[in-house]
Amino acid sequence: MTTHTDPSAPGEADATESPGPGSAEPAPDDAASTAAPDERTPDDPAAEARGRSRFRYTLPGLWVALLFVCLSFTPSLLPRPGAFQGFVCGVNGAIGYGLGVLGAWVWRQFADRPARAPRRRSWQVFAVVAAVALVASYLLGLRWQLRIRELLQAQTDGVVSQLLLPVVGALVFVGLVAAGRGLRRCYRWIAKVLSRWMGRRAARALGWAAVAGLTLLLVTGVLLDGIVGLAQRSFAVQDGSTGALAVKPDTALRSGGPGSLVAWDTLGFQGRNFIGQGPTVAEISAFNDSAAVEPIRAYAGIASADDIESRAQLAVDDLQRAGGFDRGYLLVAGTTGTGWVDPGALTSLEYETGGDVASVAIQYSYLPSWASIMVDQERARQAGRELFDAVYERWSALPADHRPKLLVFGESLGSFSAEAAFSGEYDLRNRTDGAMFAGAPSFNPLHRAYTDGRDAGSPQIEPVYRDGRIVRFSSDPAEPIAPADAPWTGTRVLYLQHPSDPVTWLSPDLILHRPDWLAEQRGRDVLDEMTWIPFVTFWQVAADMLEPVEVPPGHGHVYTQEYVDGWAAIVQPPGWTAEKSAELRRIVERPRS
């Protein structure tokens, strides 16, 4: 049986050019026939051969896939359950398979020869090597996962999850390769149709362009829009609910309370959490052993006003109504996609200031951060600028000796939003009295500028920027913040970032370039065995962002307890001690809503 293929098309020149053991000859190409489904009959040999070839793979592709699957067991930043590890293996294997097939095609073009079916012995060698390599990689990976869990003090994985690993991995691998083959068939069909009116080379080029364009349109348009639309509707429903810990305020010092310009029902799920939680005056007084005042919190949700600018003005109007500009401290908080602000950040500051603080924030999306990063970056940027500018306009109009100390905060995508109001370190110094950003994504402009421009000899995980005169970094602010021997006067800007936080370290540069944080000595909660591997490391860190395991405070993307010492370093409460920090960390260590 002779198979006619297009040897110049990148990809598997023949879907079974490397048939599995037991095949006497190569099966026909996946796209050897363009017969419509209704034209095929059960007695059609070509149709039967195509059906048999769907689960056969080229040997060059499988060798590289095997390598990538084995490498996927290498440690990353966070521990992975067995089922999730299977997902990572499947994706890595599919990436490796595609690279192997592409490499074989490129080699054949240089050698100017068609594809050849390997011998049975080649398959036997592959089977033996694959069995040994996969078992060895799994055992090593299991050992590394146990060490990561010990390092992060995370819970161990269950047996059932480990049993799901190969099943999930195989399903993901087969599905992704099948999707790739579907695209190749589509290309060949388009090229065949176009070849009726033009030369083969032009038909192939236009065929690839058409498939690439349609795929991009499908993924970024129809598919992405569908996923985002579904997420919007799902989270919009949740936005109308109220968290178990949130209580409608009976004080005029909160949005949604008596006399407020913002109705409680319009605050949204996270807005009601922002407003309806927090320490009482009695709790703050008992902690500080002195009289306290009730903190002010102002917020505007998506339903509170029609657009971001109006929302920001409404929140600031309500802040002013409640007397926020008469407090000792005024905090402008950037929010994540759903409008969330870590309660630990607010609670810590309220305890440390004796309640003499007003906080304000707004919501700009229904989506969680992972989705907002893809579609809501502009809205996050606009929200940060509009809110801070609205606050600053009224703050700067006050007499200089009657202004509260102006602070800025943001975590994760909230740090991106909060950063957007400033052009650099001097702008932060000139227009604020302090700022704290936690778990900043690598695409944050200021964070990236400070990291890339760090002083020579300082590590990427804890850089020193211009001798730490304004901006400093810390993974654990309970310890001295470098450079500890240099003066840190005036405005203090602090970035909190854990060595094991994938949100901070994920960057497209990881695909083909080793980052400094993996070339330097590893951070305190990252295994020394973690090594940069092209393609693989990028995907593993991206998978870590899905937070497959809930890690304890102080690791990954959880900064709740670090806010205690972070704010203490910025506002410098009188008489603050390490003992008070330890006590306050116990207070804020509560489940996040």
CB neighbourhood size of 573 (10 A): 16
What pLDDT is recorded for position 569?
97
Look-up of token digits 């006067």? 489
Q: What is the pLDDT of residues 170-227, one digit of tens each?
A: 999 999 998 888 888 887 888 888 888 888 888 777 877 877 777 766 665 555 566 5
Angle between helices 308-321 and 377-396 (to 10 degrees): 40
Q: What token pair was written down for 356?
A: 């003499």
What pLDDT is recorded for position 293?
97
Query: Using an 8 Å Cβ cutoff, are 441 and 468 in contact?
Result: no
Question: Mapped to the 3 state alphabet, what secondary structure does 78-133 carry?
Answer: CCCCHHHHHHHHHHHHHHHHHHHHHHHHHHHHHHCCCCCCCCHHHHHHHHHHHHHH
Phi, psi (rounded to 5 degrees) for 280: -85, 165
Sheet holding 471-474, edge to edge: 296-300, 357-362, 329-333, 405-411, 434-438, 492-496, 471-474
Where residue 232 falls among pLDDT bands split at 50, 70, 90? low
Query: Using an 8 Å Cβ cutoff, are 295 and 359 in contact?
Result: yes
Look-up of token digits 């310009």? 261
What pLDDT is recorded for position 194?
80
What pLDDT is recorded for position 111?
82
Give the three-state DSSP class for 358: strand
What pLDDT is recorded for position 591?
53
Task: Look up residue 158 and give its DSSP letter.
Answer: P
Where residue 551 falls among pLDDT bands split at 50, 70, 90? confident
Burial class (CB in 10 A: 0-12, 13-18, 19+), 373: buried
Q: What is the pLDDT of residues 124-177, one digit of tens each?
A: 999 999 999 999 999 999 999 999 999 998 888 888 889 999 999 999 999 999
Rounded distance, CA 300 to CA 211, Å? 45
Rounded distance, CA 440 to CA 43, Å? 61
Q: What token pair was written down for 202?
A: 């032009």
Strands (E), 168-273: none
Q: How many helices (H) and strands (E) does the chain have?
A: 21, 7
Rounded distance, CA 436 to CA 408, Å? 6
Mean pLDDT (the chain) is 86
Which residue did the predictor score with more confidence, 183 or 330? 330
Rounded distance, CA 399 to CA 46, Å? 85
Q: What token pair was written down for 494?
A: 């602090």
Residue 372 in this model has a pLDDT that exceeds 90: no
Residue 357 in this model has a pLDDT that exceeds 90: yes
Residue 235 in this model has a pLDDT that exceeds 70: no
Query: Using an 8 Å Cβ cutoff, are 275 and 244 in contact?
Result: no
Helices (H), 359-437: 369-375, 377-396, 413-419, 425-431
Q: What is the pLDDT of residues 244-293, one digit of tens each?
A: 888 999 999 999 999 999 999 999 999 999 999 999 999 999 999 999 99
List, in order, residues 6 or more apart from 57 with CB less than 8 Å away.
18, 20, 65, 97, 177
Query: CA of 224: how far to CAs of 74, 99, 231, in Å?
Result: 31, 25, 10
Rounded distance, CA 30 to CA 36, Å? 14
Q: Tell which residue, 278, 297, 280, 296, has the closest CA to residue 288.
A: 280
Phi, psi (rounded to 5 degrees) for 332: -105, 115
Q: Tell which residue, 236, 242, 256, 254, has the closest CA to residue 302.
A: 236
Q: Give kind and range of the element (H or E) at residue 434.
A: strand 434-438
Where residue 20 falls among pLDDT bands split at 50, 70, 90? very low
Residue 556 in this model has a pLDDT that exceeds 60: yes
Please state the rounded mean pLDDT for residues 349-374.
88
The alpha carbon dihedral of 138, 511, 514, 61 has a sign of positive
Query: CA of 408: how far to CAs of 226, 345, 385, 472, 564, in Å?
Result: 35, 11, 12, 15, 15
- The winner for highest mean pLDDT among 3-7, 32-36, 175-179, 432-436 is 432-436
Query: Using an 8 Å Cβ cutoff, are 437 and 409 in contact?
Result: yes
How big, in percent rounded to 5, are the helix, strand and coil portions of the chain?
50, 5, 40
The alpha carbon dihedral of 333, 571, 466, 555 has a sign of negative
What pLDDT is recorded for position 10?
52
Rounded distance, CA 22 to CA 16, Å? 12
Phi, psi (rounded to 5 degrees) for 359: -120, 145
